[in-house]
Structure 1
Amino acid sequence: MIMRSTQSGVGLIEVMVALLLLAVAVLGFSAMQMTAIKATDESLMRTRALTIMRGGAEAIRTNPTGIAAFKTAINGTTDTVTIDGKGITKVSCVQTTSTVPTETASCNINQLATRDGLLMKSYAAENDINIGVVPNGCPGTSGNQERQCFVASWGDTTVALNDTAADACANANGTYKNGAECFIMEAY
């Protein structure tokens, strides 16, 4: 007795359904992997920005009389700033062995602060980060000790605290904008 199969072609349909399910699973995994890579990149940029801003906070703590010169240098658009008749760059001024900046024959306190600001801005740019200090201190803060707000941004975000600019890091009150790629740190 010969039995005839009535299932001709069913195996091909099962294979096609299995391949479709596999394709959907691979696409889902790929999307998850891309999200993980983006999160890792964001974490790396935040870590770099925080490291740079911590260095800036230490620079203003060691030279509080040069804060205005530091802010001018870091918020400026040039690589050379003239302070007290001397053009200062990121490699100007002879460093002393002291941990506290002191006026030397080559640079005064404001010139040292300017050099520190230009050096920090250069290091940030080498790491694809824009950096600035809010000119009038941190929004919403008060007290005897003026607080400085460092703002670091990357990607298409600017270091501005502005209510109307779409690419600004935060609103004027310091509230982060949705989708902004930036970090704000208070230092005093």
Structure 2
Amino acid sequence: MTHSVRQSGVGLIEILITLVILAIGLLGVASLQFVGSFANKDAISRTQSELVAQQVAERLRAAARAATVGDGLVVHNDYFSADTYNFAKLSCSGGSHPYKCFCLSRPADVPNCEDGECNEAEMAEYDGWSLSCSAVQTNPLTVLSVSCNDNKAGDPDVCSAGSRVEIMLQWPVSSSANRQYTLNNRCNPAEGDSFACVFKDITL
């Protein structure tokens, strides 16, 4: 006569093992989603910045005029002033997203160059505001800069005819264990900087 040995608790152990495996899998999925969200945000910032850099180039060419010194085209000096971009001369008491703060309607301090006639300085100010709005539309931390590698000092133009205009949009990034950024030296001139960027060089 045989006796069967009863086993108890086997079902519970199997359930616990299944739960542990499931938890590990869910943690992996959560990690992928976390990393993916950063990658997606960076891709959106980069795509928008590419579009804005092209818009800047088009605005500069539209505003260009014949140089009084030398042969070629130049734009008003205010296009190369840091105060022209990133709402530097505007204030918002709300402290909210800069697009909501400055761009949903034209601030009173920005010239109305859509319905009225503007001189060169006013047009530069209006363009700077409009382009800055485009820059922060998807990422509020994006910064726009327009500079010039001037090839002729001493003339009245900050960016003399034939000089290289440098357009850059940059935004802060941070590396993690799962995502490492290869930082471009041009976007990060100072030690400790951590920016991604889009840049475009043109000649008027």
State the SS of the aligned residue for 2:75.
helix
Distance 2:197 2:43 in 1: 11
- Displacement of 1:135 after TM fit? 4.9
Matches within 5 A, 1:39-58: 39-58=39-58
Partners of 1:150 and 1:177 lie apart in 2 by 22
Q: Which amino acid aligns with 1:181?
A: A
Aligned partner of 1:41: which letter? Answer: K
Which residue of the partner structure matches residue 154 of structure 2?
Answer: none
Per the TM alignment, residue 46 of structure 1 is displaced from its structure 2 partner at its CA by 1.1
Give how far 1:19 is off.
1.3
Q: Structure 1 residues 156, 13: CA separation in 2 closer, same or farther (over 3 Å shift)? A: closer
Deviation by residue 1:111-158 (Cα, 9 ceiling, x = unmatched) = 323321232123324441221123546xxxxxx83222222223479x
Amino acid at match of 1:78: K
The 5-angstrom pairing of residues 1-188 of structure 1 reads 3-64=3-64, 65-72=74-81, 73-74=84-85, 77-79=88-90, 89-94=109-114, 106-127=117-138, 128=140, 129-136=142-149, 145-155=162-172, 169-171=187-189, 179-188=194-203
Read off the aligned partner of 2:188 and give its amino acid letter: A
Deviations 1:6-58 (A, max 9, x none): 53223322221121111101110111111112111111111111211211110
CA–CA distance in structure 2, aligned partners of residues 40 and 177 of structure 1: 24
Q: State the shift of 1:187 in Å.
A: 2.9
8 Å Cα contact 2:111-2:122 kept in structure 1: no
Percent identity over the alignment is 24
Q: What CA deviation, in whole Å up to 9, does each residue of 1:65-86 have, x standing for no partner?
A: 3252212223772149xxxxxx
Structure-2 residue corresponding to 1:103: none
Q: Distance in 2 between matches of 1:28 and 1:156?
A: 23
Unaligned runs of 5+ in 2: 65-73, 92-107, 151-160, 175-185
Query: Which residue in 2 is equivalent to 1:100?
Result: none
Q: Which amino acid aligns with 1:8?
A: S
- Under a length normalisation based on structure 2, what TM-score does the superposition of the two structures give? 0.60
**Aligned Cα RMSD in Å?**
3.4
Q: TM-score, normalised by structure 1?
A: 0.64
- 1:179: how far off? 4.3
**Matched residues in 2 for 1:119 and 1:18: separation?**
56
Higher relative contact order structure (alpha carbons within 8 Å, sequence separation ≥ 6): 2
2:181 match: none
1:158-188: CA deviation from partner (whole Å, max 9, x where unpaired) = xxxxxxxxxx94217xxx9874233223233
